[in-house]
Amino acid sequence: MTAPARGRGRPRDPETDAAILRAALEVFVERGIEGLSIEQVAKRAGVGKLTVYRRWATKEELVSQAIQTIVGEELTFSLDDLDALSPYEITERALPAAAELAASPAYRALIARILGSAVSHPSLMAVTWERYILPRRRLAAYLIERARQEGLLAPDADADVLIDMMVGAVMYRALQPGPPDTAEMLRYLRAVYRQAGLLPPEPS
Residues at the interface with its own copies (CB under 8 A): 32, 105, 108-109, 111-113, 115-120, 122, 125-126, 129-130, 154-158, 161-162, 164-173, 175-177, 188, 191-192, 194-196, 201-202, 204
- Distance CA(166)–CA(192), nearest Å, equals 6
Q: Write down the least CB distance from residue 192 to its own copies, Å.
A: 6
Nearer to its own copies, 32 or 40 (CB): 32
Q: Write down the least CB distance from residue 126 to its own copies, Å.
A: 5
Q: Write down the least CB distance from residue 82 to its own copies, Å.
A: 22
Nearer to its own copies, 95 or 167 (CB): 167
Nearer to its own copies, 80 or 176 (CB): 176
Q: Write down the least CB distance from residue 163 to its own copies, Å.
A: 9
